[in-house]
């Protein structure tokens, strides 16, 4: 099973062991950076405590180790063969962004990622973050696990909803209107819909069209994907009639 990070702006993939050699800046009275490895370890402990199994993981560093991004594949609760649960991590030592966790899915057949837009854990590097980190990680994993369960119901609804070309054309225009895609992306998305690169998406369903988008957008960085897929889920939830259900609350 692959666990791939889209690397941009000078980021480089590293082994997990390399995180132990990244220097953590000295704290100040109001700012306490977290060692990248410490964040990873706390999340691993929280996942284990929740009986969630890590299948694979990937890590990358940028800005000479000042910024960290990671992905963890988690075995999904129903052992679905076509997608996996994914946990995205980020941390910075240059005050660019807080430490954070975001939940998502990875579709195996085309190796694309779709992140739910709500960051379940985002904590600034303030004075007591190291003391509070174990509790924060456990709480974040519990909330992320709930999101994955909801995401499974959402994917099932997408798979059950039939779509035709007229529906697809209308949806791609709405995606353009709200900025999920740019004008240059319209034709690639429609091409993936009309002639899917993967046989698994031959059925004319919302799930196939959703993956036409994510296949096209999979070159986006980990930082861009959550906002884009949050908006994309909003469009598709409306298309399949989920906006008035509890699933819509995960956006």
Residues 215, 220, 221, 224, Cα dihedral to 10°: -110
**Cα-only R_g, the chain:** 19
Return the half-sphere exposure (C-beta side, CA atoms, 13 A cut-off) of residue 211: 27
Q: Tell me the C-alpha to C-alpha distance, in Å, between residue 81 and each of 85, 133, 141, 233, 246.
A: 11, 33, 23, 21, 25
Q: State the residue for tokens 């390399």.
A: 18
d(CA 56, CA 69): 15
Q: Tell me the C-alpha to C-alpha distance, in Å, between residue 183 and each of 148, 172, 212, 218, 232.
A: 31, 10, 15, 17, 16
Identify whether the C-beta of residue 198 lies closer than 8 Å to the C-beta of residue 110: yes
Backbone angles phi, psi at 154, to 5 degrees: -65, -45
Using alpha carbons, select from 236, 243, 247, 183 the residue that is nearest to residue 211.
Answer: 236
Domain boundaries, the chain: 12-147, 158-250
Those residues with Cβ within 8 angstroms of residue 184's Cβ, 6 or more apart along the chain or in another chain? none
Query: Which conformational region is residue 64 in: left (phi greater than 0), alpha (psi within -120 to 50 degrees), or beta?
Result: left
Those residues with Cβ within 8 angstroms of residue 79's Cβ, 6 or more apart along the chain or in another chain? none
Tell me the pLDDT of the chain (251 aa) as tens digits: 445 555 545 568 899 999 999 999 999 988 989 999 999 999 999 989 888 888 889 898 988 899 998 888 887 666 566 777 888 888 999 988 888 888 777 655 545 555 655 556 677 888 778 888 888 888 888 877 777 778 888 999 999 999 999 999 999 999 999 988 999 999 999 999 999 988 989 999 999 999 999 888 876 665 666 778 888 999 999 999 987 655 554 44
Tell me the DSSP string of 67-91: EEEEEEEE--TT--SSEEEEEEEEE
């Amino acid at each position: 099973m692959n666990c791939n990070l889209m690397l941009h702006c000078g980021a480089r993939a590293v082994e997990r062991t390399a995180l132990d050699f990244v220097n953590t800046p000295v704290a100040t009275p109001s700012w306490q950076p977290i060692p990248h490895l410490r964040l990873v370890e706390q999340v691993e402990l929280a996942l284990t405590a929740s009986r969630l199994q890590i299948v694979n993981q990937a890590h990358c560093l940028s800005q000479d180790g000042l910024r960290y991004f990671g992905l963890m594949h988690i075995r999904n609760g129903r052992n679905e063969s076509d997608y996996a649960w994914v946990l995205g991590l980020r941390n910075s030592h240059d005050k660019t962004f807080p430490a954070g966790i975001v939940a998502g899915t990875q579709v195996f057949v085309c190796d694309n990622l779709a992140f739910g837009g709500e960051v379940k854990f985002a904590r600034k590097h303030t004075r007591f973050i190291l003391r509070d980190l174990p509790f924060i990680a456990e709480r974040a994993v519990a909330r992320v696990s709930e999101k994955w369960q909801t995401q499974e119901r959402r994917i099932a609804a997408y798979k059950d909803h039939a779509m035709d070309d007229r529906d697809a054309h209308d949806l791609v225009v709405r995606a353009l209107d709200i900025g999920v895609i740019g004008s240059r992306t319209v034709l690639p998305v429609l091409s993936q819909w009309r002639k899917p690169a993967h046989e698994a998406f031959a059925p004319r369903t919302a799930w196939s069209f959703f993956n036409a988008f994510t296949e096209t957008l999979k070159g986006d960085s980990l930082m861009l994907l959550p906002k884009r897929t949050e908006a994309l889920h909003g469009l598709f939830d409306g298309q399949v009639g989920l906006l008035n259900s509890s699933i819509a609350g995960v956006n």
